[in-house]
Structure 1
Amino acid sequence: MKKYLIAGLLTWMPLAITIWVMLWVVGLMDGMFNGVLGLFDTLVPGLVKLKDIPGLGVLVTLALMLLTGVFVTNIFGQWWVQQWDRLLNRIPIVKSIYSSVKQVSDTLFSSSGNAFREAVLVQYPREGSWTIAFVTGRPSGEVAAHLVGEHVSLYVPTTPNPTSGFFLMMPKSSIKPLAMSVDEALKYIISMGVVAPPASAVAQPEEADPNRRG
């Protein structure tokens, strides 16, 4: 009986968690959409009835993001984005939060950026203890001036929740690049090492050359 219960649990759990996450995302989008409808309901009576249509908030949010992307990719839209940035950067407290989030999002989601493009192996939290980290860039500015040699910026995620973690700056010579992709590394971290990457993603050690002299 116990064996069958565990087998059934392992079958349904991934699907249940996936559905739960998707419902949370849909609920978040619908909540934002319903909040906007509540603001405009006094101007357009009856607009709040659109809340009863399930999934409409998701469609409207996706359409809004698509239209916004089309708008900001042309010269006229870029000018408006610059004016918006200048306005928010003049508001105390708001400018600190907005500018920080914008810099991080631009770095992470930029197609030309290197953030979270490579998984590496590092010794953390002590020598002899290894964990997986993601390269987020290189130290710069005043911080780089105090570091001797070439360093890299790393994000070490926690398990099983990779959204929290630690920011480290380590010598490049102390990290070991991994052949696995970022997605495979995240699966490995979230599963606490249970879901290992496929053998094809693991770098095979070089065979010893019999003609090489030590």
Structure 2
Amino acid sequence: MKKILIAGLLVWLPLTITVYVLLSLIGLMDGVFGWLLSAAAAVAPLSAQSGIERLRDWPGLGVLVMLLVLLATGVFATNYFGQWWLRQWDRLVGKIPIVKSIYNSVKQVSDTLFSSNANAFREAVLVQYPRAGAWTIAFVTGRPGGEVAEHLQGDWLSIYVPTTPNPTSGFFLMLPRADVIELEMSVDAALKYIISMGVVVPTAAAAAPRLPVARDPVG
């Protein structure tokens, strides 16, 4: 009976989580769409407010509208005219106290992670963490820069070590390149390996390079 219940759970659990994530995303889009409708109704004439409110009852309209808004924003942001306006917007936000700190930090992280020219999370590696002889999968996020790089001699890498099974939290490390082993597996395969706590083994894991002799951990 226990094996049958576990087999049933393994069938329904991925589907349930997938549906939950999709419904949460749709709910978020509908919420933003509802906020836009409320803002439009607040400034619209009384004769048009009833028509605007009826748009809330159209199933799927919020998702469709938000996808179109994202598409239009992407087209706007990828041309010269749109980029000029975005630079003006960044300058304006950069003059607002408190807001500029939050906005600039989020923008830098999002540009690093999602930009097509970014190198963050493009490579999975093996590092020794949290002690010598204990190995974990991490991701290269770049190289140390600025004042930090001036204090580091040699070739160093910036590394993100995700936690299991939630890879959205983790630890930021700076390690010498000599202490990092490059892996052939893709970032997606490495994430699956981490989230599954080693249960889902990527094919590329079998071709991973031989581990070197353990050395003292950095720092």
Give TM-score scaled by structure 1 length. 0.91
Counterpart CA distance in 1 for 2:68 and 2:206 is 40
* Paired residues of 2:184 and 2:208 also in contact (CA < 8 A): no
After TM superposition, the runs of 4+ consecutive aligned structure 1 residues lying more than 3 A away are none
* Rounded Cα–Cα distance in structure 2 between residues aligned with 1:97 and 1:162: 23
Name the counterpart of 1:12.
Answer: 12
The structure-2 alpha-carbon separation of the partners of 1:79 and 1:204, relative to structure 1 and needing over 3 Å to count, comes to closer
What does residue 49 of structure 2 align with? 45
Distance in 1 (alpha carbons) for counterparts of 2:31 and 2:60: 11
Contact 1:108 1:116 in 2 (8 A): yes
Unaligned regions of 5+ residues in structure 2, if any? 211-219
Deviation of 1:50 (Å) = 1.4
Determine the structure 2 residue equivalent to 1:203.
Answer: 207
What is the match of residue 85 of structure 2? 80
Q: How far apart, CA to CA, are the structure 2 residues paired with 1:108 and 1:205?
A: 27
Match of 1:133 in 2: 138
> 1 or 2 for the larger relative contact order (CA 8 Å, sep ≥6)?
2
In structure 2, relative to structure 1, the CA distance for the partners of 1:59 and 1:178 (3 Å cut) is: same
Report if aligned partners of 1:179, 1:202 keep a CA contact under 8 Å in 2. Answer: no
Of 150, 156, 167, the match for 1:151:
156
Structure 1 Cα separation of the partners of residues 205 and 60 of structure 2: 39
User: What is the identity percentage for the equivalent residue pairs of Structure 1 and Structure 2?
Assistant: 67
Deviations 1:59-111 (A, max 9, x none): 11110011111112222111111110100000011111111111111111122
**Counterpart residue identity of residue 170, structure 2:** G
Q: Deviations over 1:130-171 (max 9, x none)?
A: 111000000011000011211100111111111111111111
Q: CA deviation at 1:54?
A: 2.2
Q: Kindly indicate whether residue 72 of structure 2 is the aligned counterpart of residue 63 of structure 1.
A: no
Per-residue deviation at 1:202? 3.5
Structure 1 position 5, deviation (Å) = 1.3
CA apart distance, 1:201: 5.4
Indicate conservation of the 8 Å contact 1:34/1:48, yes or no: no
What is the match of residue 210 of structure 1? none
Tell me the secondary structure at the aligned position of residue 166 of structure 1: strand
Instruction: After superposing the two structures, state which structure 1 stretch, 66-75 or 20-29, moved more.
Output: 66-75
Give TM-score scaled by structure 2 length.
0.89
Which residue of structure 2 aligns with residue 101 of structure 1? 106
Q: Deviations over 1:155-197 (max 9, x none)?
A: 1111111111111111110011111100000001111111110
Cα pair distance change 1:88/1:20, threshold 3 Å: same
Cα offset, 1:12, TM superposition? 1.0
Which runs of no fewer than 5 residues in structure 1 stay unpaired?
A: 207-214
Query: 8 Å contact 1:120–1:178 — kept in the other structure?
Result: yes
